[in-house]
Structure 1
Amino acid sequence: MPTSPSTSAQAAREDVARRLRNLRRSADLTVAELAYRCNWHHAKTSRIENARTPPSPTDIRLWCRATSAEDQASDLIAASLHAESLYTEWKRQARNGLRQLQDSYLKLYQSTETFRVYSTTLVPGLLQTEGYARALLGTNARFLGLPDDGPEAAAARLGRSRIIHQAGHRFVLLIEEAVLRYQLGDADAMAAQLGHLLAAGALPAVSLGIIPMATPSRLLWAAETFNVYDQALVSVELLSAQVNITQPSEISLYLRAFEELRGMAVYGAGARELIVRAVEALR
């Protein structure tokens, strides 16, 4: 697995920084001279060139004007905005509430044919019940200091999840067995969630695999939950942010990891047995 899931985002930021630095050097300007022309402190120039501070669109326009490269401003602004979209803090994504965050995925979901999801700690959002989702989203809102619209967000998540019943999509979902044991909400809510997994796993478009805790000599340990949308995007969920990976080499690495994990999972009767045991443990 990649040593850091934010590699793509940082590489994109560094590419923008390198292009801006090359413009300054081509214009034969020192760091201080460019800062003077842009009317900011020279330390800001250094921070931008070292990819420590992302430049705003206005910063880029001023930089290009100072280096007589106005024709490159639009491309650089687009590249910078793309770089920042690769790594987005949850608090920034959900500043207007978690329901809006759920709705923001609709276009991506509709355009994806094959969903691959690997989760280490939670039931994948596509298979969550309202009670489970409400408990999870309410907890997240409180922890991140966001508006607590857990019930509304849970309803939106369920609406989004109806895509599993729509033709033209395939869902390959992997979870660790421990997911079945981490209780969210009360025992009734968790039992309902586990019951829903039993039903959802039988849907024609859904392949649900569970990696048993007793798996001997595991071939791979994955540290993070990740989602692969077709073969174009990998979304990695961190505590503080979502990282969107678009570099083909990294996507290939996640796809290879997914297949290795998939080979360790049990399906059908084996998966149902693990779920039933988790239900019985709630009693």
Structure 2
Amino acid sequence: MSATSPSSSAQQARRALAGRLRELRLDAGLTGRDLAARAGWHRTKVSKIEHASRAPSGEDVRTWCRVCGAADQTADLIAALRAVEGAFIEWRRLQRSGLRRLQESRMGLYERTRVFRIYEPGIMPGLLQTPGYVRAVLTKVGSFRNSPTADLDDAVDARVARQRVLREGDHRFAFLVEESALWSRLGGAEVLAEQLAHLVRVTRLPTVSFGVIPADAERTLWPVEGFWMFDQERVSVETVSGWLTITQPAEIALYASAFEELARPAVHGAAARELITRVRDTLL
């Protein structure tokens, strides 16, 4: 996992789009200079786009297709461009419309996902957070990213509302956390104690598998970045600077393998609840 850049899916998507545009040019029998001249661009623009060092705009794609006599490819390539633009989105863009809208924007994906696989190394997964824990997390996030929190109350309600998928619909959840996530005192000892008590209850739901990787466990894979797998459709990774969406099948398979490897030393069921309770007892 460490050899793969966390934004490699976004990079691959950019290169794939660039490759498709290059193929259109070659099929049209044009050189890069020919295309640039007919489009009215600087002579280096075509090369930069084809080498994925410069992202094309929607208008660039339309012009490219027109000059290459491939107008029928425009809609498909515009869709590919939008997918590339959404592969990695900075937090400042995501939070532009407010924290509440950011929470609500994921609901459609949650509702259509049948199998969730979620790994978190240092925090409780959002679907399992209590209102107090959510508030502590979003307050810290707002402070760290210097983003507005005027709609914090609504954002807390929106994140908690998403948790209905735990009990409604045809969904299955496999949660996996490092033991360190149980000790993260976001909001203080009282908030964490309430969170852990809630966690014990949630682990008894028939739709939920909850595993904890003990700190002293023998393991073959070290802790990696937190990630959420939605069926075989995509993987979402929250980085310090933004939100990464992975859709490349080979990379999705890699994350699936990582989840299996991470789960090997984890404890589940009664053993997990015993570990959670032991941590909670230190807070009381």
Work out the CA distance in 2 between the residues paired with 1:77 and 1:204. Answer: 43
Give the partner amino acid of 1:22: E
Work out the CA distance in 1 between the residues paired with 2:278 and 2:152. Answer: 29
Query: What TM-score, normalized to structure 1?
Result: 0.93
Q: Which residue in the other structure is 1:39 paired with?
A: 40
Give the deviation of 1:30 after TM superposition.
4.0
Give the deviation of 1:236 after TM superposition.
1.6
Say which SS state the counterpart of residue 79 (structure 1) adopts. helix
Give the deviation of 1:28 after TM superposition.
4.3
Moved more, 39-48 or 148-157: 39-48
List aligned pairs for 1:33-182, cutoff 5 A. Answer: 33-148=34-149, 149-182=151-184
Give the partner amino acid of 2:182: L
Instruction: Write the deviation string for residues 237-274 of structure 1: whole angstroms up to 9, x where unpaired.
Output: 21112222222222222112111212211112221222
Give the deviation of 1:86 after TM superposition.
2.0
Work out the CA distance in 2 between the residues paired with 1:237 and 1:271. Answer: 25
Q: Which residue in the other structure is 2:190 paired with?
A: 188
Structure 2 unaligned segments of length 5 or more: list them.
Answer: none
Structure 1 unaligned segments of length 5 or more: list them.
Answer: none
Query: What TM-score, normalized to structure 2?
Result: 0.92
Q: Matched residue pairs, number? A: 282
Instruction: Write the deviation string for residues 85-129 of structure 1: whole angstroms up to 9, x where unpaired.
Output: 222222212211111111111111111111110001110000001
Give the partner amino acid of 1:202: R
- Cα RMSD, aligned residues only: 1.8
Give the partner amino acid of 1:16: L
Work out the CA distance in 2 between the residues paired with 1:246 and 1:206. Answer: 25
Give the deviation of 1:77 after TM superposition.
1.1
Work out the CA distance in 1 between the residues paired with 2:183 and 2:223. Answer: 19
Give the partner amino acid of 1:273: E
Moved more, 140-149 or 192-201: 140-149
Among all aligned residue pairs of Structure 1 and Structure 2, give the percentage whose two residues are the same amino acid.
49
Give the partner amino acid of 2:268: Y
Aligned partners of 1:135 and 1:150 also within 8 Å? no
Work out the CA distance in 1 between the residues paired with 2:46 and 2:190. Answer: 57
Give the partner amino acid of 2:39: C
Give the partner amino acid of 2:61: I
Work out the CA distance in 2 between the residues paired with 1:176 and 1:104. Answer: 27
Do residues 224 (structure 1) and 211 (structure 2) align? no
Say which SS state the counterpart of residue 234 (structure 1) adopts. strand
Aligned partners of 1:87 and 1:243 also within 8 Å? yes
Give the partner amino acid of 2:181: V
Give the partner amino acid of 1:186: G
Instruction: Write the deviation string for residues 209-246 of structure 1: whole angstroms up to 9, x where unpaired.
Output: 10000002x11124210111112221122111222222
Instruction: Write the deviation string for residues 55-102 of structure 1: whole angstroms up to 9, x where unpaired.
Output: 121110111222232222222111111222222222212211111111
Work out the CA distance in 2 between the residues paired with 1:119 and 1:34. Answer: 48
Q: Which residue in the other structure is 1:203 paired with?
A: 205
Moved more, 39-48 or 93-102: 39-48
Aligned partners of 1:96 and 1:147 also within 8 Å? no
